[in-house]
Amino acid sequence: MRFTSKIVAVTVLIMSTMVVAIAQDIGKYKILNGKVYYNNVILHEANPNTIQDLGYGYAKDDENVWLDGKLLPLVDARSFRLKNSPTPPPPPSASNPLQSAGSALGDVISGILGVGATHKPPHHNGGNPVHEHIQQVRGYEIIGTKVYYNGTVVGNASAHSFKDLGCGYAKDSYRVYYCGVKLTDNPSRFTALTDGYAKDSFNVYYFGKKIKASTSGFKVLSDGYAKDAFDAYYCGKEVVGSSASTFKVTGNGYAKDNWETYYLGKKVR
């Protein structure tokens, strides 16, 4: 009897180790000590107060979207949605008590870690899961004398003079809009650029949010990078310590100036 008990104890211990390993290997977003992690790697740009695990490896906060822990620089977090919710795991099999015990133990461990299983989307015969699972945004539409954004009336918009500028920006003769909400009352000087950037006479915007960049000499580079006469920016945030006069994008998230190399807006150390 004691021998049998030892075997059971060892089996449970092995199962526990396996489940912990599985729980750690699955792509997980979790918050620990006020920081957001994915597979034990800190996501420095993530806001722990607004981060959401969307499933299928996606997550977003109030400003950014991630896939498998990698920042998607040109995705608008405000309008980003998944068409389908993650599929719940199948119930434990009554004919397989070890599977049942392992699943239950996995649930407990996941609860302790504060994360849930990430369910990958099903196979799509070569289709792109990004395109198949992201909700398609209809954008602006003019019907009669009214302007709509994703089915909601854009208040006070002038259908006669309304122009869709792209990336959620639009304007009429009186106002500028972002995703259907009024942004400024200065349409004559407003210009939508690329990669989500825009500017008017006084301010620079990134996906509808005012950033600290100067309009003087401001230009969009590529891969989410931009610069003004003084500083460089990545996804609307200052690339700290960068030299705007020598700043260049080299591709695949990398950039450099005469002194430093940067990856996703951070110095490479």
Secondary structure (DSSP) of 234-257: ETTEE-TT--GGG-EEEETTEEE-
| Ordered alpha helix ranges (H), the chain | 2-25, 97-113, 129-133
Q: Does residue 169 surpass a pLDDT of 70?
A: yes
Residue given tokens 């899961």 in the structure block: 129
Q: What is the pLDDT of residue 39?
A: 74
C-alpha to C-alpha distance for 189 and 123, rounded to whole angstroms: 48
C-alpha to C-alpha distance for 42 and 40, rounded to whole angstroms: 7
CA pseudo-torsion sign 18, 24, 25, 29: positive
Q: In terms of Cα–Cα distance, which of 153, 138, 155, 152 is closest to 81?
A: 138
DSSP 8-state code for residue 187: G
Q: Which residues, other chains included, contact 77 with Cβ-Cβ below 8 Å and sequence gap of 6+?
A: 60, 61, 62, 63, 64, 65, 207
- Reported as a single tens digit per residue, the pLDDT across 217-261 is 999 999 899 999 999 999 999 999 999 999 999 988 899 999 999
Residue given tokens 């009352």 in the structure block: 185
Mean pLDDT of 155-163: 94
What does the domain layout of the chain look like in residue ranges? 2-126, 137-192, 202-269
C-alpha to C-alpha distance for 222 and 145, rounded to whole angstroms: 37
Q: What is the pLDDT of residue 43?
A: 85
Q: What is the pLDDT of residue 135?
A: 38
- Reported as a single tens digit per residue, the pLDDT across 175-184 is 999 999 999 9
Q: What is the pLDDT of residue 78?
A: 80
- In whole numbers, what is the pLDDT of the chain averaged over residues? 75
Q: How far is CA 88 from CA 44, 71, 85, 109, in A?
A: 30, 26, 9, 17
Q: What is the pLDDT of residue 84?
A: 54
Instruction: Give 107-110 contacts, CB < 8 A, sequence gap 24+.
Output: 109/16, 109/19, 109/20, 109/23, 110/23
